Amino acid sequence: MAVASGRSDLDGNPIKAMTICMIGAGGFIGSHLCEKLMSETPHTVLALDVYNDKIRHLLDDAGTAGHPWAGRIHFHRINIKHDSRLEGLIKMSDLTINLAAICTPADYNTRPLDTIYSNFIDALPVVKYCSENGKRLIHFSTCEIYGKTIGSFLPKDHPLRQDPEFYVLKEDVSPCIFGPIEKQRWSYACAKQLIERLIYAEGAENGLEFTIVRPFNWIGPRMDFIPGIDGPSEGVPRVLACFSNNLLRGEPLKLVDGGQSQRTFVYIKDAIEAVLLMIENPARANGHIFNVGNPNNEVTVKQLAEMMSEVYSKVSGERAREVPTVDVSSKEFYGEGYDDSDKRIPDMTIINRQLGWNPKTSLWDLLESTLTYQHRTYAEAIKKVVAKPTAS
């Protein structure tokens, strides 16, 4: 695969090769972003993380002389909580992208301290080093920053609940509505909000060049882990991996509090296109906060479960279960202090205006390619685990 040359930005200017310090490069989003940068651009990535399994294939290729990305991706096993190499790596780079975070809801109410430290305290030095050294920062926040919709506080049958003004989430207009402190679910959203405010203030007072990304449920291959296969058996990943795990094991999918919450899902490969536009169009992206999601792919969690069961049956050739789902209370599933976002529709005005980006992939298509990957990657391993006799 040849690296494209003579590439131009959205205003027709040539794009110069840059060095990117990517923190959290070994995670779900990081692995897809590294893949995109290696296969389609001339940029170099300094990949920082505590793990590298999800980018191992890229690192191996980078060590092969003559490979299109030979020498263009370098892994640094660094925990940003305590590593003096961080500032030096940011200084060596033209741009820093910070993806590092604890970002699985099962942790927000059970490990609130780790969640707050990871999403606020640990991000502070990154912001400071970028600001002090005049380096550009793309920081990953979350759609959860919006919390609950205004409409969710109206009576269930109130006509204004159907009015987009009461539920569409706009970067520059919508308030951030979190639950009470004892609902520790909101520890993540609150920490992310404070780091957004700090970055914004660094921009306003000290001229930091920043872009903030608010992902709306990006999903696809390599997201999280399958419990007992490539992650802890008792671990609870995000919904795509939870439901994939249930389907692979032939179990019913668990609907938390009836699965009535609504989400919009966007295919990771569409979302990565948006991030690449931000990277290569600083004049259009700096100083902005961007929603990145697919407003056309809205479902309730219950509908997602039904759709995933149907798609999985198609790609695996296995018959769908007669009872595909079971209800479970949030207290039983996540423990004390869980709460939920009711509905998440991103307004796309700003990203459309600044970067001309639109998502392309339907929910059915993205589930088909993702569940094909899950089946190919995990079905055999699950069969072996299930077949193993239990110790008496």
Hey, which residues are catalytic here?
188
CA–CA separation, 367 vs 311, rounded Å?
A: 7
CA–CA separation, 73 vs 57, rounded Å?
A: 11
Which CA distances in Å does 356 have to 34, 248, 359?
Answer: 22, 38, 10
Pick from 231, 226, 233, 250: which is nearest to 320 by CA?
250
Of positions 217, 246, 297, 361, contacts ligand NAD by CB under 6 A: 217
Told to check if 103 binds ligand NAD by CB under 6 A, we report yes
CA–CA separation, 358 vs 267, rounded Å?
A: 12
Told to check if 186 binds ligand NAD by CB under 6 A, we report no
Told to check if 149 binds ligand NAD by CB under 6 A, we report no
Exposure letters 123-132 (e unless 16+ CB within 10 A, then b): beebbbbbbe
Interface positions, 40-69, toward ligand NAD (CB under 6 A): 48-51
Told to check if 27 binds ligand NAD by CB under 6 A, we report yes
Tell me the DSSP string of 50-107: S--GGGHHHHHHHTSTT-TTTTSEEEEE--TTS-THHHHHHHH-SEEEE------HHH
**Binding residues for ligand NAD, total number by CB under 6 A:** 26
Q: Closest separation between CB of residue 242 and ligand UDP, Å?
A: 3
Told to check if 190 binds ligand UDP by CB under 6 A, we report no
Residue 122 binding result from ligand NAD, ligand UDP, none, given CB thresholds of 5 to 8 Å by partner type: ligand NAD
Of positions 217, 244, 309, 361, contacts ligand UDP by CB under 6 A: 217
CA–CA separation, 362 vs 295, rounded Å?
A: 11
The interface region with ligand NAD, picked from 76-84, 309-317, 341-349, 383-391 by CB under 6 A, is 76-84
Q: Which residue has the tokens 């096993």?
A: 77
The interface region with ligand UDP, picked from 50-58, 201-209, 249-257, 364-372 by CB under 6 A, is 249-257
Q: Closest separation between CB of residue 234 and ligand NAD, Å?
A: 17
Of positions 256, 266, 355, 382, contacts ligand UDP by CB under 6 A: 256
Told to check if 171 binds ligand UDP by CB under 6 A, we report no
Pick from 23, 224, 190, 266: which is nearest to 104 by CA?
224
Told to check if 116 binds ligand NAD by CB under 6 A, we report no
Told to check if 261 binds ligand UDP by CB under 6 A, we report yes
Residue 103 binding result from ligand UDP, ligand NAD, none, given CB thresholds of 5 to 8 Å by partner type: ligand NAD
The interface region with ligand UDP, picked from 110-118, 259-267, 307-315, 368-376 by CB under 6 A, is 259-267
Residue 138 forms beta bridges with which residues? Answer: 97, 211
Q: Strand, coil or helix: what is 179?
A: coil
Which CA distances in Å does 313 have to 77, 184, 251, 252, 323?
Answer: 39, 37, 13, 13, 14
Q: Closest separation between CB of residue 66 and ligand NAD, Å?
A: 29
Which CA distances in Å does 371 have to 77, 219, 359?
Answer: 30, 11, 20
> Nearer Cβ to ligand NAD, position 218 or 378?
218
Q: Which stretches of the chain bind ligand UDP, using CB under 6 A?
A: 105, 144, 217, 238-239, 242, 254-256, 259, 261, 263, 301, 340-341
The binding site for ligand NAD (CB under 6 A) comprises 24, 26-30, 48-51, 78-81, 99-101, 103, 118, 122, 140, 142-143, 215, 217-218
